[in-house]
Amino acid sequence: FRIDSGEAQGEARDAQSSCFAADLKAALLSHPRTISPKYFYDERGSRLFDRICELPEYYPTRTELAILAAHAGEIASHMGPRAEVVEFGAGSLRKVRLLLEAMQEPARYLPIDISGEHLARCAAELQQEYPGLDVQPVVADYTRRLLLPAPLPGAGRRVGFFPGSTIGNFTPEEARHFLATAAQVLRGGALLLGADMVKDPDILHAAYNDSQGVTAAFNLNLLARANRELGTGFDLGLFWHSAFYNAPKSRIEMHLVSRKNQRIEWDGECFEIGEGETLHTENSYKFTIEGLRALAGQAGFRPGPVWMDAGRRFCVHWLHA
Ligand code: AVJ
């Protein structure tokens, strides 16, 4: 699973495309129609997500960065000397850099990501900046299985890093499953987990319905990507972006809503979508401190300190594995 050749990357990409085709087909045939948000992140989707993080309405990224910057020293002291950082998803070099700057002799950095090209770029960039750090990218879908290299001889704690409230994309059952797997591979170490908090729905609504329409473009990119990679012929003008807060489930839901009755012919099959019917593209769960600690506890972690911003918008948890 190491990146070692262009060929391996090509294979990984092809494998991803065929999963996308199968999952999209299954989504179109099911009711309700649901597809994993992991398919947002092709090259263009990753760029759109970077733009979301800069939006005035999208507070999570800058809030988490501020929390990490304010408490990096304390967090690093929990990590201890020669720690190894395992990052789930590799989109946030800025975040891990804040940790590495504060850590005492970081030993190794293992970013795990599904997108081989993005990962290779990020890893190479970081390796240049930290010549003494052992940077080993791992191309894998960390929601499926976690295979990590053995700890380095003489290494300190193995600390997982899962920032950005990506945990919010999982259903509670999926989150428990992911956390239980993470607890196993991090045993003896810890997980540093960033999570978006339950708050005024108006603030949440604005964050997922930005005035520049970048989130709408990000959502619609799922169909654009399908057109590019799978040859589905979706007319993007026939769908609108919908994002709303489902309070009983403490989650933002994103959907693509069909503006009219339409028929999609693809791969020798015909799919009908009625006016107002949706493709559910993302859940983004919001957490309370106690709710997240309980979830982590059920997965085998012992809850530790929690850092927050003054507005209690975002939280970063230290969880003992
Ligand atoms: C990357 C899953 C944390 O849920 O806020 C941003 C993705 N979707 N705007 C989030 C996202 C729409 C983001 N996560």
Q: Is the CB of 169 under 6 A from ligand 1?
A: yes
Closest listed residue to residue 97, CA positions, set 116, 64, 115, 72: 72
How do residues 216-274 score in pLDDT, each as one tens digit? 999 999 999 999 999 999 999 999 999 999 999 999 999 999 999 999 999 999 999 99
Give the other-Cβ count within 10 Å of 250's Cβ: 19
Cis peptide before 81 (omega within 30 of 0): no
Please tell me the distance between residue 236's alpha carbon and the centre of ligand 1 in angstroms: 21
At 90, list the tokens. 């590799």
Point out the residues of the chain with pLDDT beneath 50.
1-11, 14
Q: How far apart are the first and last CA of the chain?
A: 24
Please tell me the distance between residue 194's alpha carbon and the centre of ligand 1 in angstroms: 13
Query: In this structure, which residue's CA is closest to atom 5 in ligand 1?
Result: 284
Q: What does the alpha-carbon distance between residue 240 and residue 276 come to, in Å, rounded to a whole number?
A: 10
Q: 173-209: buried (b, 16+ CB within 10 Å) or exposed (e) per residue?
A: eebbebbebbbebbeebbbbbbbbbbbeeeebebbbb
Please tell me the distance between residue 142's alpha carbon and the centre of ligand 1 in angstroms: 17
Please tell me the distance between residue 164's alpha carbon and the centre of ligand 1 in angstroms: 8
Give the number of the atom of ligand 1 that is nearest the alpha carbon of residue 243. 12
Is the complex ipTM more than 0.95? yes
At 248, list the tokens. 């009983």
